A and B are shown apart, each in its own frame.
Chain A
Amino acid sequence: MTMPFYKKVVLYLLLSVSAFFIFAPAIMALLMSFMPGEQILTGTIIPKSFTLEHYRQAFERFPLLSYLTNSLLVSLLIMAGQLLLSSLAAYAFVFLEFKGRDALFFLFIATMMIPFEASIIPNFQTIRDLNFLNTYTGLSLPFFAMAFGTFLLRQNFKQIPKELKEASEIAGMGDLKFYLTVVLPVAKTSLVTLGVYGFLSAWNMYLWPLLATTDDSVRTVQIGLKQLQSQEQLNEWGVIMAGGIIVVLPTLILLFLGQKKLQKGLTEGALK
């Protein structure tokens, strides 16, 4: 698209300003994490001196590394479980024909309207009765079934021509093999999208890990962050910010990696 130069300038100016405002809290956190404590308390914005002390303290005072590992494990588990169950369910909704399929699908979709908080008590009771409290299983299991993921993948699978399925049927290929060798590779892009989405939302989860764990050894990093805040009488903002930055890093890395892959996937183009 071509546009006059002055229009471009205005547009980019507006974009930069709004980007700055959106990103401002994150920038402040970043700056504060490198500032000595007394500067933070006096309300400095541009640091006068630079220190890594807060980062050292964040690692020293709390089992941050173990929290990070827990978060990573739980998020990966949830991501894998979601990808597996969602893709299998979506496959059934698209390629298998059975009575009441569409009705069942709409029922499935309808569960998206129930917020997780509403089902958190029955979930908690189930996990407790299964003796899964304080385990990775307990942390991840309630999130495996995901209506949104099923919906996303179903829409994507629907774009696969049904002739591909028929051609495999004639070749003598069963459903499982068709799912593994055709559907999954063709829908790679959507799987990556869903994977990134699932990972990020699992990483940022707070309420459920708080309920399902009582033991520091399995707690995730989001709860660790909260602990940083309330340990002392006076909040050490520098340490909290340092912790926040550390927690954000993996998600940022994932986002950048995923973005590249997503762009590649989107430009690959489909074959009619």
Chain B
Amino acid sequence: MSYIELSNVSKSYDKQRSVLNGIDVSIEKGEFFVLVGPSGSGKSTLLRLIAGLEEITGGELHMNGKVINHLPPKDRHLSMVFQNYALYPHLTVEQNILFGLNAKKVDKKEQKQRLHKTAEMMGLTELLKRKPRQLSGGQRQRVALARSVVSEAPLCLMDEPLSNLDAKLRAHMRMEIRQLQKKLGLTMVYVTHDQVEAMTMGDRIMVLNDGKVQQVGKPIELYNKPANLFVASFIGSPKMNMGRAVIKGQQLVIEESLFIPVKAADVIDIPKNKRLIAGIRAEHLFKGTSEEKTHVLDVINVEQLGNETMVTFEVGGEFWTAKWLGQQIVHTGDRVPVQLSVEHMSFFDADTGKLIKAASSLKQKEGVAI
């Protein structure tokens, strides 16, 4: 049995507005589990259900094999880091860190020991006597983390803890939290709306939208085999290029403007004459040369990032972005040769949005850095 198990958990307010629907997931001990989704998807609500800050209206929540639907938060042996850090403004850093231990009546001597250990680990030793308002955003974040660490709870819940930090600090804290989790062997449930954070930090990711689970899996799995259109467009930056497609005879027609020849073997699993959505990752839209090319496309926009170049094309009514290594000399308005092939494409059912066939090229290339 897993550490935390949710079976058919749902949450609604006033018995009408349903926020979460039939959530089934299990979280293993020592796992870094990320809940990701756009705002309003119910990810924070799910976290609060696990914390016990909100009542579950349907289904069961198990922890260590026991149903804990009605267990108060303090008996769930967990710690939580809030988006706004929830530091007590009238207490010093030291008092803030020890706040929970005081409430749990931990022995003073032990408190001191744990405080020094944690403060040293988090680099807060110099700041112990300060009030939260005298700290920078990053330092406050660290205090909030320290408060969570010092409790020595085996489960740590985090609700968008990095969203108030600037980009540079965020990248740094991402690494620090990940290291901390590994070092202490914590089970972490981490909520974010940022798919980059989810991809880089999570052992496993759960994508939520509209209160429903879209997909649960390892980051690479989600990237390579998105279960539906939502996951395909949500995971990955830039997002997967997509277009309406249909197979006509020996040709795949995308957005009624791109014609790609297909072999029967390539499309054996794909029903003919069905409305499809074809998707291709930006890094699979290869640059062509005047000799080697499958198509020529109009350039709408070019973004030079130094180490790579993002080129946006117009394909029918859609904008497709290609990611090319190095500094490419391309200008807006150019017509540029590209190489497109069916083996890099994923196909989705246009009506249900479900994945029909993932890009076949990945099967051979798995494990190779892309």
Contact = CB atoms under 8 A, between A and B. Distances in A.
Q: Do chains A and B interact in one complex? A: yes
A270 interface: yes
A170 B88 contact: no
B133 interface: yes
Contacts of A167: 80, 82, 86, 99
A270 B73 CA distance: 28
A166 B133 contact: no
Nearest to A171: B100
Nearest to A182: B88
Contacts of A168: 99, 103
B315 interface: no
A270 B90 CA distance: 10
A271 B87 contact: yes
A171 B84 contact: no
Contacts of B82: 163, 166-167
B132 interface: yes
B90 A170 contact: no
Interface in A154-186: 161, 163-164, 166-173, 177, 182, 185-186
A167 B147 CA distance: 10
Given A186-B89, A186-B90, A170 B78 contact: yes
Given A269-B133, A271-B132, A271-B133, A169 B74 contact: yes
Nearest to B135: A271
Given A163-B82, A182-B88, A270-B89, A170 B51 contact: yes
Interface residues of A, number: 20
Given A166-B80, A271-B132, A271-B133, A171 B86 contact: no
B10 to A, nearest CB: 20
A207 B83 CA distance: 53
Given A169-B73, A269-B133, A271-B133, A164 B103 contact: no
Most buried by B among A164, A167, A168: A167
B187 interface: no
A172 B104 contact: yes
B195 interface: no
B141 interface: no
Contacts of A182: 88, 90
A166 B53 contact: yes
A123 to B, nearest CB: 38
B89 A271 contact: yes
Contact of A172 (B74, B86, B132): B74
A272 B132 CA distance: 10
B89 A166 contact: no
Contacts of B84: 161, 163, 272
Contacts of B209: none
A171 B103 contact: yes
B149 to A, nearest CB: 14
Interface in A11-29: none
B99 A171 contact: yes
Given A170-B53, A188-B90, A271-B132, 11 more contacts: A161-B86, A163-B82, A166-B53, A166-B80, A170-B51, A170-B78, A171-B100, A171-B104, A172-B103, A271-B133, A272-B84
